[in-house]
Amino acid sequence: MSTWHSLPKTGPEAPLSVVDVGGPAQPLLTIRGLVKHFPLKGGLLGRRRGEVRAVDGVSFEVLKGETLGVVGESGCGKSTTARLLMQLLEPTAGQIVFDGRTVGSRDLPLKEFRRQVQMVFQDSYASLNPRLTLEDSIAFGPRVHGVSATEAMSRAHDLLARVGLEPARFAGRYPHELSGGQRQRVNIARALALRPRLLILDEAVSALDKSVESQVLNLLLDLKAEFGLTYVFISHDLNVVRYMSDRVLVMYLGEVVEVGPAGALFDNPAHPYTRALLSSVPSMDPDHRTEAPALSGDPPNPIDPPGGCRFHPRCPIAAPACAQQAPERSSVSPLHEVRCLVHERGSEHPKALNRSLHDPSNLLRPHNAQEALA
């Protein structure tokens, strides 16, 4: 029996978050080889016509106490990944390990996992039941886990106050009476009602006006500090991601193409797609407007991804090798990884570095790149 079973779950003695099982060095969330294919039904008898390979082999870690930003465009699979993390969708393959314990195993049954991981959705209106008052919406989660009605209600009021909505005025209201920013605050309060350790924010501020967005971002930072939360922050707004995140993950067509510390990734993007994304941010200087788009065409459909490196049809530095060979993850620097043949030692790409030639420790070794890597 793990230690957290013996802790009281309700009342003032209940800890704010469940005891750290794995220790500070253990990543809070480890995703290994996550795959999600949606079958496409068609034809007379609804036979399979193909698959939407929404998430195709995604692996990453979320460290305790950090904010991991996730960026990518339509079809990259970031929202599907979020839903897979929340177990709202069944993965086709892959493993999710939370604080060292596999989700769904006896160590960590699904219901207990759900208590520790919560999500805030993009559409603030659709995320709230229009027939329930705000306090009922927030108190629902705790009630499901056995918290008494009065305790759940007082927790709801407490959280409403904490997100900046006065309980006396707001607890009895319905979602349609609030503005978008207020609703999103309620969604955050609802997510925190179960005292989770990990909060997934799926484009949580994207639909808000900029001034409201700033307020909600400040709120998220305050809450993270106070509750010791870990965030996975999914967004398409690169400025916001850079501001909020410690590390950033870039996704393209169902794969992770680059991951690294926010500053390093934005200052020295290694993957051509990341560079293109960054160049696509509109200029704020009227005298230095963007002259040419970084990428042409639309983000592709994950139904039939190209062979080899998935980005090669649109990549400005693609070589013939890119269509044949799918790149593996290579390190740019200790914490910065990229999936690109240019950075892969010994790949066929003409611009790839043959590390064995440049690495001083290899001076005594044969110059033949293939042998060095054998």
Partner 1 sequence: MNSPQPACAPLVQIEDLCVTFTGGKLPVQAVSGVTLNVARGQVMALIGESGSGKSVTLRTLLRLHPERRTQMRGKVLVDGRDVLALSPRELNDYRGKTTSMIFQEPLLALDPVYPLGQQIEEAIRRHEPVSRAEAERRALALFEQVRIPSPARRLLAYPHEMSGGMRQRAMIALALACKPQVLLADEPTTALDATVQIQILLLLRELQRELGLSVIFVTHDIGAAVEVADRVAVMYGGRIVEEGSVRELIRAPRHPYTQALLGSRSHGAMVPGQRLQTISGSPPDLARLPPGCSFAERCPRASDLCRSSQPPVEAVSADHAVRCFQWQVPERAAAPPLPEPPPEHPVGDTHAPA
Partner 2 sequence: MSSTLAPRRRTLPVTVQQSPGYWQSVLHRLLRDRVAMAAGAVVLLLLLMAALGPWITPADPYAASMLKRLKPIGTPGFLLGTDELGRDLMSRLMIGARLSLFMGLAPVLCAFVFGSLIGLVAGYAGGPLNTVIMRTIDVFYAFPSVLLAIALSGALGAGILNSLVALTVVFVPQIARVAEAVTTQVRNRDYVDAARASGASAFTIVRVHVLGNVLGPIFVYSTSLISVSMILASGLSFLGLGVKPPEPEWGLMLNTLRTAIYTQPAVAALPGVMIFITSVSFNLLSDGLRSAMDNKGAA
Nearer to partner 2, 16 or 19 (CB): 16
DSSP strand E in 147-212: where?
198-202
Nearer to partner 2, 76 or 192 (CB): 192
133 in contact with partner 2 (CB under 8 A): yes
CB atoms within 10 A of CB 192: 24
**If contact means CB under 5 to 8 A according to the sort of partner, which of partner 2, partner 1, none does residue 133 touch?**
partner 2
Q: How far apart are CA 244 and CA 220, in angstroms?
A: 9
- Beta carbons of 194 and 141 less than 8 angstroms apart: yes
Quick one: which segment of 20-28, 123-131, 313-321, 342-350 binds partner 2 (CB under 8 A)? 123-131
Q: How far apart are CA 328 and CA 342, in angstroms?
A: 11
223 in contact with partner 2 (CB under 8 A): yes
135 in contact with partner 2 (CB under 8 A): yes
276 in contact with partner 2 (CB under 8 A): no
Question: Minimum distance between the CB of residue 153 and partner 1, rounded to whole angstroms?
Answer: 27
Q: Which residue has the tokens 């220790």?
A: 23
Q: How many residues does the chain have?
A: 374
**If contact means CB under 5 to 8 A according to the sort of partner, which of partner 1, partner 2, none does residue 351 touch?**
partner 1
Q: Is the C-alpha dihedral spanning 323, 325, 328, 334 positive or negative? A: negative
26 in contact with partner 2 (CB under 8 A): no
**For residues 45-84, which are near partner 2 according to CB under 8 A?**
83
Q: Which residue has the tokens 């067509």?
A: 253
State CA 181 to chain mean position distance.
Answer: 22
Q: How far apart are CA 254 and CA 34, in angstroms?
A: 10
Q: Which residues bind partner 1 (CB under 8 A)?
A: 73-74, 179-181, 209-212, 214-215, 217-218, 221, 236, 238-240, 242-245, 262-263, 267-270, 272, 275-299, 301, 316-317, 332-333, 342-343, 351, 353
**If contact means CB under 5 to 8 A according to the sort of partner, which of partner 2, partner 1, none does residue 287 touch?**
partner 1
Sorted by sequence, the CB contacts under 8 Å of residue 68 that are 6+ apart come out as 60, 62, 231, 232, 233, 245, 246, 247, 248, 249
Q: What mask, x for binding partner 2 by CB under 8 A, covers residues 192 to 221? A: --x-------------------xxx-xx--
**If contact means CB under 5 to 8 A according to the sort of partner, which of partner 1, partner 2, none does residue 173 touch?**
partner 2
Sorted by sequence, the CB contacts under 8 Å of residue 160 that are 6+ apart come out as 134, 135, 138, 166, 167, 170, 171, 186, 189
- Beta carbons of 184 and 111 less than 8 angstroms apart: no
**For residues 156-175, which are near partner 2 according to CB under 8 A?**
157-158, 161-162, 164-165, 167-169, 171-175
The residues that touch partner 2, with contacts defined as CB under 8 A, are: 83, 86-88, 110-111, 114-115, 118-119, 121, 123, 126-133, 135, 137, 140-141, 144-145, 154-155, 157-158, 161-162, 164-165, 167-169, 171-177, 181-182, 185, 187, 190, 194, 214-216, 218-219, 222-223, 226
